[in-house]
Every structure is written in structure tokens, then in C-alpha cells.
Structure 1
């Protein structure tokens, strides 16, 4: 299995199959990230498609071929922000999964508690400063490591760790009643 940097090099040489293999590695995760952020399957599919087009057009601008994964997620994140800007009624915290919807309604009280907890988490996230909210969502919902979050933000890994720690402390205080 070829590494990302090798596939980028082949794609830059015009190898469509290498480019397809490269996108194949990340397209599902990009789609899922877009779906969580946007909350709409059609918009997420559009973003994933736009990431493919942008990647093909701008792959030569990638300074570190080994960092293609982070670059693709950054492109996807920017595309999502563009969609959100056009949909002013949508809040980034809708990226939090609706955990209650995935549980069977066998116990109405537990279902009500789960719904209330998710709503409380969404509100607590909405109350976070935007950089902390973004860092928490990227780390906890999308599973990105500190270094990739730092690359997305253009900051340092330490700054990403600090923002995540501050976000966790604020969320712990806000969610204290739900422990």
C-alpha cells in the first residue's frame, strides 16, 4: 500500500488512479465530518464533491505531500463554513450527534433524559468561545489529533491542547448536573 506522499506525487504527474486512491482513503471521513457539521446529507455530499474538485485543481499548492489528510480536512472544513454562512439559521453545535434518536424508546424517562442531556450539551457548546467550540468538535466528534487541529487553525499543537483543555473544563462545569 502506497503512502499518501507517493500517491500525491503520482497524482501531480497526472495519474488519475493515484488521485482516486488518495481520495478513496478519506472521502468517507470527509463526508461524515461534513454531515456532522451541516446536518444535511445533500449538503454534505456537495461538500465532499467540492473537496474532490478543489483537491484536483489545487493539489500542486500542497507544500507537504505527507500532510494531504490534514489539507483535505481543512478544505472540507472551509467548504462547510461557506455553506453555513449561507444558512444563517444553522448553528455549528448541531454537529453533536442526536444520541437520543439512536436509542430505542423502550424507557420513556431515559429517552427524555437523553434528549435533555443532548440539548444541554448543545447549549453548553453554543456558549463556548468559537475557537474552543471548533477545537472540541474537531477533537471529540471528528477524532482529529491535536497536531491536525493545529494545522487546521494555523497554530501550534500546544495551543490546540490548551484550547481543548479550556473547552473541556467549561463543558464539565456546564454539564455538572448531568453526571
Structure 2
């Protein structure tokens, strides 16, 4: 019981109510366990924002699969299991995509020129930049925007845009094998 004398329902009671269609009960389960799900995925995924997206998708999936939760199962474990499967599906998809890209590149030898390799290196370097930094690089270095224009468009402080542009440029030059 809490200070007001009301008792808090157990996870199992909330799960049973959610199975019966109570979105309020399911929302309470999500509130109780979403931090654990997000924390788990942030530890196993390289990109925290991607981990948050996967956590959100896993919790949406949980609502559609709540009927599969066994009566005595741990809700937190079940949520994390769904999240793990979502992460593995994403990883497998990424691996298949990378394999297709490699296969395509292997079948297109006429495109294996220094310029094409440079483009691939730049693309990989861009993909490894944090999202904000990638956006600044796309606008300022590739799109010829001023730092002030990029700051306004992205809603970032001017100093942040300038440092993102400098760091992004250095990483791109490094990917090209040039010193910044």
C-alpha cells in the first residue's frame, strides 16, 4: 500500500487486465519496465537512438502479443525478450543488406575505380557520424549552406554547428586517407 492506502497491482494482475483489453493496464506495465528495456537495448546496440526506436517497436509489438505472455512469466523478461528479438532481426537485416551491397559491388567491376572507392569510403564515414553531425556535414560541406543557415534549419546553436562541421570534415578526410 502507498501513503494514500491504495495498493499497487502486481505485474501479473496488470498483464491479465491487459490481456482482457485494458490499455491502461498495459500502459502501466510499459511505465514500469520501459527503462529496463531501453537500458538493455542501449547496452547491446551501438546507436542509442536506434536502441530507443527498437525499444519503442518492441513495446508496440508487446501490445499486439500480450496474449502470448504466460501467466507466471516475468513481464520485464518478456519485454526484454521481445526487444532482443527485434534487435536480432534488425542486425540480420543489416547483415543481409551489407551482403547484397558487397555482392553487387563484386559483380560490377567496372565501377571499382578510385573514385568509386572514395565515394564508398565517404558514405561509410558519413554513416558513422552521429545524426546531428551528419546533418551538418550534409548541409554545410555537401550542400554549401552557411553555418548560420544550418544552425537555423537544424535548431542547433551556431557553435555546435561549427564544431560538428569541423569534426565531420576531419572524419571524412580521414576516411579518404588524407590528413585533416
For the aligned pair, the TM-score class normalised by the smaller chain equals 0.3 to 0.5
Which of 1 and 2 has higher RCO (CA within 8 Å, sep 6+)? Answer: 1
Using the size of structure 1 for normalisation, the TM-score is 0.46
Q: Which has the higher Rg, Structure 1 or Structure 2? A: 2
